[in-house]
Amino acid sequence: MRFTSLAQSLQKLEATSSRIATTKILSEIFIRSDAGEIGRVTNLILGRLAPGYKGIVFNMADKMVIKALARAAGESEEKIKADYKRHGDLGIVAEKHIGKKDSKLAVSGVYDKLYKLAVDEGEGSQERKIIALSELFSGASPLGARYLARIPLGKLRLGASDKTIIDALSWMEKGDKSASPEIEAAYQVMPDAGAIAEMVKKNGVEGLSRKVTPQVGTPTLPMLSQRLKSPFDMIEKMGRVSVEPKFDGLRVLIHFDSGLTRAFSRNLNEVSSMFPELQRLGDYTKAKELILDSEAIGFDSNKKKFLDFQMTMTRRRKHEVAKAVTDTPMQFQVFDVIYKDGKNLMGEPYIKRRKVLERLFKKNPVFLVDENTVTRNPEVIIKMHKSYKDKGLEGVMVKKADSKYVPGRTGWRWVKMKEAQSARAPLSDTVDAVIMGFTAGRGRRAGFGVGQFLAGVRNGNSYLTVTKVGTGLSDEEFRALNKRLGLIKAAKKPGEYRVHKDLEPDFWVEPEVVVELAADEITRSPKHTAGLALRFPRFVRFRDDKSPSLATTLSELKELYKLQKNPL
């Protein structure tokens, strides 16, 4: 496929906000793609070269793209900068300055050159990247140049997501969304939309479930929990359950292969460098290959207590990691095993997986299997919840004893217990919201750059507003927030945002930053597009372990609203 042909389809995508229209345009692109290029096409549509867990990024700033464009167009950098200031979009500027009307650039060739550009490192790499991108600009059509400029900057924003890709593949094969559940099930085990597209194109949807199995080094999407307050409801919905402690740590999926250990967060980012302790796993197990689900949590051996989530997250800074390994040892509360020595355990009942898990480790201080109690008695759940709360933990996780490991938040397989709420008590659970925009600081906050931010929840591919937040942040956090949001400012309101005109902020940002919010209650709202609002919202913490795809959904917010209206 010619890159110009793909660019014409991307232009159609850019012009529509309809989910159905987007899906159909994507399916038409896939029909025109051959099996050897569909994976590359898919990744370019998503504005990337590979799934995030592979860590392949462009590392190109605006000024580098400006240099490449000036070089290709034979213009001065000052002229390109002036046009950029006028339009606010380097894609539009590139289209204006690239004069070639016809282009023979193929999609596969563009992808391969961009890939080579992205992985180029070391001395002189910045200049080589500029030269490589300028060569692509020189061979592109004006419309192709629009998207060539946006892709390395991460500003494609076509409204397409991995979920839309899944639906489009179903449309390609069946002419409707009937195959989406089967494709999505495979994607949850191997979250690589490009690879899934290639498999469907080559072999059809049939057999995906047999071909796609857990692989060490490729993170599966994690299994997530639902919320319930009543232990009696838990037993009614789930039957026999396993009751376990809930820790306030970082969810870590551990992949072990004969001595080499890698770790992934719940949003599939590799976090191996945060946890040098993981490289000791081979000392404590006879297994050759493992995929484990766990919670990483710091333990203060002097005070004999667990540390909170924020202390764990300080390990993102390299100098903190080396210091923390000595000062604050990390332990991994391992609560599931989904793969062992060539055997996929995802389809096995939870209790059977527990038996495999309990035989995995020698006694050691780093990898600890969560204690559990199997019961059908709701009173046992209540008693254990209180016991764990008294120990400083978050309470209990309750798991259906015969449940398979099913990625995502579906069915009543895992639930976390939420306590009853009185009329004056704060909301018993927090909300993970996406920052959509912000208002400039005024008065004392003028120096921070941010006065308050607009936050929303997810509904399919859209984001719906639920609150504005200006409390709960320290001066340092306000400054950190200003720095973060300054890097992701959007020239206009992103197409996936649904915002009442009275709530529009001074500045829009791309949906990237997830924050945990507390509130007194959830109320109905005529202006917030979620139809619900957080009353007296407060910032709790940044959720850097979560991507926007893992933010609270509208349906989850509605469930929280129901829970507060129907206390025990």
- Overall residue count recorded for the chain in this entry: 568
Q: Give the span between the Cα atoms of 370 and 9, in whole angstroms.
A: 51
Residue pair 256/292 in contact by the 8 Å Cβ criterion:
yes
Q: Give the span between the Cα atoms of 383 and 474, in whole angstroms.
A: 37
Residue pair 128/113 in contact by the 8 Å Cβ criterion:
no
406: number of Cβ within 10 Å: 17
Q: Give the span between the Cα atoms of 248 and 393, in whole angstroms.
A: 7
Q: Which pair of structure tokens corresponds to residue 470?
A: 């200006």
Q: Give the span between the Cα atoms of 248 and 400, in whole angstroms.
A: 21
CA distances from 22 to 12, 161, 171, 510 (A): 8, 10, 11, 20
Residue 516 falls in which region: left (phi positive, over 0), alpha (psi -120 to 50) or beta:
beta
Q: Which of 246, 340, 418, 546 is catalytic?
A: 246
DSSP string of 201-241?
HHH-STTHHHH---BTTBPPPPB--EEES-HHHHHHHHSSE
239: number of Cβ within 10 Å: 12
At residue 51, the 3 state secondary structure works out as coil
Q: Give the span between the Cα atoms of 300 and 363, in whole angstroms.
A: 20
Residue pair 469/487 in contact by the 8 Å Cβ criterion:
no
Does residue 493 have an active-site annotation?
Answer: no
Question: What is the separation, in whole angstroms, between the first and last Cα of the chain?
Answer: 60
**Of 473, 394, 455, residue with least CA distance to 429:** 394
Q: Which pair of structure tokens corresponds to residue 552?
A: 């609270």
Residue pair 397/414 in contact by the 8 Å Cβ criterion:
yes
HEC sequence for 185-197: HHHHHCCCHHHHH
Q: Which pair of structure tokens corresponds to residue 536?
A: 């007296």
β-strand pairing of 507-509 with 431-439: antiparallel
Active site residues: 246
